[in-house]
Amino acid sequence: MQKDLDYNRKIKRLGFIIAAIVWTIALIFSLTNKKADKVEDKPVAKQEDVKQEIFFVEATAYTASEEECDDTPNITATNMDLRTKPVDQWKIVAVSRGLEKKFPMHSPMFIITDSAILGEYQVEDRMSHKIKGMAIDILMSTKEEALEFGNQEVVVGRI
């Protein structure tokens, strides 16, 4: 039984190492594309000057319902009205106050789980002040999707 637990932990950690490698490749690709998109010759920060950080954080999922949010469930912390288009067209994430220092409102965030690359999300909401540490809450369309996502450790980073 203990060997199975150790094996599962090693497999999960290997998944996160692979996610970090994928993140690094995505970051390099993103930086390469940004340089190719430049029209003017402006001074660009040297690669070693650009600090790119990735974090391992706890992730949960939520829906825009009164039972999961405050008394204005369809309005984010940045005053975005979620009723203007279907929720599945938004890629919104709420951040804990501990993570908001690294990812302020309106920041892009790239999310990778141990089984999928979720892609780019936008920080537009804030988690309850009761949540301590570094955590995210991903907006989902339905309660079923949120429950299926569950609680998992993910890799997040800036784009």
Q: Give pLDDT tens digits for 38-94.
A: 444 444 444 444 467 889 999 999 988 877 777 777 888 898 888 888 777 889 999
Q: Which residue has the higher pLDDT, 35 or 87?
A: 87
Q: Decide the pairing of beta strands 152-157 and 108-112.
A: antiparallel
pLDDT of residue 59: 96
CA 77 to chain centre: 16
Domain, as residue range, for 22: 3-34+52-157
73 falls within a domain: yes
18 falls within a domain: yes
Q: Which residue has the higher pLDDT, 130 or 15?
A: 130
CA 42 to chain centre: 30
Mean pLDDT of the chain: 80
Confidence band of 3 (pLDDT split at 50, 70, 90): low
pLDDT of residue 46: 47
106 falls within a domain: yes
40 falls within a domain: no
Q: What is the largest CA-CA distance in the chain?
A: 61
47 falls within a domain: no
66 falls within a domain: yes
Highest mean pLDDT of the ranges 2-16, 47-61, 132-146 = 132-146
Count: domains in the chain? 1
Which string of DSSP letters, residue by residue, matches 79-99?
--BGGGS-GGG--EEEE-HHH
115-120: which pairs have CB atoms within 8 A and are 24 or more residues apart?
A: 115/15, 117/19, 117/22, 117/26, 118/154, 119/91, 120/91, 120/159
> Residue 63: which residues within 8 A CB-CB, separation 6 or more?
87, 139, 140, 141, 142, 143, 146
pLDDT of residue 13: 72
pTM: 0.69
Across residues 134-141, what is the average pLDDT? Answer: 94
CATH at 87: 2.40.40.10
pLDDT of residue 27: 59
pLDDT of residue 5: 61
57 falls within a domain: yes
42 falls within a domain: no
Confidence band of 147 (pLDDT split at 50, 70, 90): very high
